[in-house]
Copies of this chain bind each other. A is one copy, B any other.
Amino acid sequence: MAYRRTERVQEQLQDKRDRILQAVRAVVNEVGFRGAQVATVAEAAGVATGTVYRHFPSKGELFAEALALNAGHEVSVMQAVADSEGTATARLADAIRVFALRAVRARRLAWAMIAEPAEPEVDAARLKSRRAFADVLQGLIEDGIAGAEFPPQNARIAAAGLIGALTEGLVGPLAQDAEAPPNALSLSREITAFCLQAVSARPYEESRS
């Protein structure tokens, strides 16, 4: 018994795994899911194709995990905004604006995360992440209803509606890569305005930023 997996090796393995996941992110940001082949990802990660399969059972699961990682991060960001101080209206507005801004800034990646066709596992992960986003918004809407900032309404439906509005507003422009990139600021501001109006909040002026 001359070899036992040492802690250092364990870390290197973990590192490599992470690097592969990051490579997926990078490649998808470059060429989308459609153009992202396992071989390309492997090259971007600086490993051989076969190595990918020592860390992930299949392309679908690899890509799904990469999406979950990213989406999870975005959800945290949104949750942090949702948990900050302020009225429900203000927090809702900020949460939506932040989401929209970040998406518009990384358009290709965002499109892939939100809407690009991909493996079934990826779609499943996407559905989950949408639910996570919707949950955050639902909480904010319930806050707003409780505090009489918003009229009583089905918060679950409203949250889904906001997610839909957000993604539709973003994916339309995002999908047309040929078109001039719409002004990120103004697009996110208009989408935010619509979303606020949608839950019947009064208009909320953007705080300094």
Q: Which A residues form the contact surface with B (CB < 8 A)?
A: 34, 117-118, 120, 123, 127, 130-131, 151, 153-154, 157-158, 160-169, 172, 175, 190-191, 193-195, 197-200
A168 to B126 Cα, complex, angstroms: 13
Q: Known pairs A160-B169, A161-B165. 19 more at Cβ < 8 A?
A: A117-B117, A127-B175, A131-B172, A151-B197, A153-B193, A153-B194, A154-B190, A157-B190, A157-B191, A158-B194, A160-B172, A162-B165, A164-B164, A164-B165, A164-B168, A165-B165, A194-B198, A197-B198, A200-B200
- Is B161 a contact of A191 with CB atoms below 8 Å? yes
The answer to whether B34 touches A120, judged by C-beta atoms less than 8 angstroms apart, is: yes
> What are 30 A-B contacts defined by CB distance under 8 Å?
A117-B117, A130-B168, A131-B172, A151-B197, A153-B194, A153-B197, A154-B190, A154-B193, A157-B169, A157-B191, A157-B194, A158-B194, A160-B165, A160-B169, A161-B164, A161-B168, A161-B169, A161-B191, A161-B198, A163-B168, A164-B166, A164-B167, A165-B165, A167-B168, A168-B168, A194-B198, A197-B199, A197-B200, A198-B198, A200-B200
Cα A53 to Cα B123 with chains together (Å)? 30
CA distance A151 to B200 in the complex (A): 12
Which listed residue (B160, B161, B168) contacts A160, Cβ 8 A? B168
Contacts of A34 in B (CB 8 A): 120
CA distance A195 to B191 in the complex (A): 15
Bound complex: CA A194 to CA B162 (Å): 10
Min distance, Cβ A167 to any Cβ of chain B, angstroms: 6
Q: In whole angstroms, how far apart are the Cα atoms of A26 and B169 in the complex?
A: 31
Q: Which residues of B contact A200 (CB under 8 A)?
A: 197, 200
Which partner residue on chain B sits nearest A161 by CB separation?
A: B165
A34 nearest CB neighbor, chain B only: B120
Residue of B with least CB distance to A171: B164
